[in-house]
Amino acid sequence: MQKTIIAPVKFTHVQCGDCPIRHRAVCARCDSDELTSLEETKYYRSFEAGQTIVWSGDRMDFVGSVVTGIATLTQTMEDGRRQMVGLLLPSDFVGRPGRETAAYDVVATTDLVMCCFRKKPFEELMVQTPHVGQRLLEMTLDELDAAREWMLLLGRKTAREKIASLIAIIARRDASLKMQKSEGRVVVDLPLTREAMSEYLGLTLETVSRQISALRKDGIIEVEGKRHITIPDFDRLIEEAGDDSDGGFLV
């Protein structure tokens, strides 16, 4: 079912460049003895689009971070209603130190590579190396802010505003990673199916589709194929998103 790749040669150059645990939290400031012990437990795992990485309630004995691709955290009610509660892009952290079992389904929505550490050694490292904990605190606070922005979206925005917000969020994160802008026109490839979008936004798949069509008809976005979107005027999209002030620069 899942291909597990243990630190193959081809990933070597990735280890320092893309792994936030090492790169952001550790490399710069800590002595390397700690790192060596962590390094021993580090491994890479690949998943195919659509694969579930962990089921809610399952034992989860690793933490890690996304290297490439996109993963989601989703909650499910008994009758099958689903709500996405986390969208994980490259460099995002997965897993909660100090927790035995996963609280959410973790799903790869695109092909995905994760950098993982066994939880126990990672927790030991956290105790010994304050910077790791501090960096994790920062990241968690950022996620909390993102969750709160998301709550405003879920609780108070209209379907049209929700769609506009989601496109803006993805465009911004994309841009901050890859600088895809070209003089005002922003180009995004949606990494989510309509269904995943509906789970993000608390809508049905049909409403997502209708609202994307509506934004297209109104010239807010241009759609090529199903996923490729061009935003001719980003400010207009932001207006449609109904965001307050600096709105949604988080996550």
Partner DNA sequence: TGCATGTCTTGATCTGGGTCAAGGCCCGGA
Partner DNA sequence: TCCGGGCCTTGACCCAGATCAAGACATGCA
Size, binding site for a copy of itself by CB under 8 A: 43
- Under rule CB under 7 A, residue 210 binds DNA: yes
Of residues 195 through 214, those in contact with a copy of itself by CB under 8 A are 201-202
Q: How far is CA 35 from the centre of its chain?
A: 25
- Under rule CB under 7 A, residue 165 binds DNA: no
- Under rule CB under 7 A, residue 194 binds DNA: yes
3-state secondary structure string across 52-113: EEECCCCECCEEEEEEECCEEEEEECCCCCEEEEEEECCCCEECCCCCCECCCEEEECCCEE
Contact with a copy of itself (CB under 8 A) among 2, 4, 37, 140? 140
- Under rule CB under 7 A, residue 195 binds DNA: yes
Residues 6+ apart with CB under 8 A from 18: 67, 68, 90, 91, 115
Q: How far apart are CA 195 and CA 218, in angstroms?
A: 23
Partner touching 29 among a copy of itself, DNA, none, CB below 5 to 8 Å by kind: none
Q: How far apart are CA 78 and CA 129, in angstroms?
A: 41
Q: How far is the CB of 199 from a copy of itself (least distance, A)?
A: 8
Contact with DNA (CB under 7 A) among 19, 125, 186, 208? 208
Binding mask 118-137 for a copy of itself (x = CB under 8 A): --------x---x--xx-xx
Q: How far is CA 176 from the centre of its chain?
A: 13
The site for DNA (CB under 7 A) is made up of 50, 158-160, 193-195, 202-210, 212-213, 223, 226-227
